[in-house]
Amino acid sequence: MNFSIIIHQILILGFLALIGVIATKLKVITEEIKNSIATIVFNITLPALILSSVSNVELNREILFNSLLVFIASHVGILLLYITGKFSRKLIGIDGKKGNIHVIHTMLGNVAFLGYPLFSALFPGGEGLLYAVIFHLTQDIYIWTVGVFEFNNTGNLKFRESLKHLVNPNIIAFAIGIFMLAFGIRFPEYVYNPISGLGKTTIYLAMLYIGAVLARNPMIAAFKKPEIYALIFNKMLLVPFVLLLLINAVSLVFNIHIGNIAKTVVVMQTAMPCMAMVVVLAKKFGSDDIHATENLFLSTILSLATLPFLYFLINIF
């Protein structure tokens, strides 16, 4: 794999986000339109991307084995992020709502809005996206369990109510795709082409949304807050690198070899910048949505440097 591919893709994503920023500044994208974009992406284009990509993967024993390893490694990576966030909160001395956001944002990354477009471009053919979806589904479990537990320190959403969020259009699309994959079912061309084309719009809409979020929350003060840099270092460099070393160690000691695409996806998904949806959830639960926006703002900008650097490390190790 050419290292320049990820640099190129990150620059494309950054340019698309910049268009979203400019469009929002010019009031072409209003708050209502921004929210509508998020709804369209989550309920229409992302499911279309998942369904068309997953159902079209050429299934074999290696991909099945790698999928299992990605599922296990995803749990390990997310748990490492959570533990690191808890420890970092105590070490830095962040209390209350800001401390809750610190932990949640350390644990949860923008694995859909940024991860899906990135891996679709980086690994054409659907295999990379398959592993990205597995990581996303694993993260969803933690959002509506551990994440809700942390938010409940300031919010009032009941645990049982949170479980219903585990069933959403993306999970349904993934389940249908896996079913079709398992039984060798393929869409006819007149069905596959429009679904695939619709799914490909995800990269553009998702980055317009991220650009709109950043534009409506100009958090220049975030650059002066050391606790955000600590979060970014832990989330986007330290824990992913530790996970990379763990994967390599397990492979060496137990002779369990994970494919390069699978390893790259799971490590880089762990290193994604802070999750955009946490800003919305923080506001809903009465938490510190301003601090959540600062985390999102700075981590997204710095990911333009950290993701290529991590990709470089993956290829070295």
Report the alpha-carbon angle 136-139-140, nearest 5. Answer: 85
Q: Looking at mean pLDDT, say which of 108-122, 165-179, 274-288 comes out highest.
A: 108-122
**Which pLDDT value is given to residue 165?**
61
The answer to whether 203 touches 10, Cβ cutoff 8 Å, is no
Find the farthest-apart pair of alpha carbons in the chain and give their distance in angstroms, rounded: 57
The answer to whether 263 touches 271, Cβ cutoff 8 Å, is no
**Which pLDDT value is given to residue 155?**
47
In the structure encoding, which two tokens stand for residue 291, read together? 């601090």
Q: Which helix (H) or strand (E) holds 45?
A: none
Distance CA 235, CA 145 (A): 20
**Which pLDDT value is given to residue 156?**
53
The answer to whether 285 touches 155, Cβ cutoff 8 Å, is yes
- Asked if pLDDT for residue 10 goes beyond 50, the answer is yes
Domains of the chain (ranges, CATH numbers):
3-316 (1.20.1530)
- Asked if pLDDT for residue 218 goes beyond 70, the answer is no
In the structure encoding, which two tokens stand for residue 26, read together? 């010019």
End-to-end CA distance of the chain: 14
For residue 126, give the nearest of 51, 180, 42, 197 by alpha carbon: 51
Q: Is the pTM of this model over 0.85?
A: no
Confidence band, pLDDT 50/70/90 cuts, at residue 317: confident
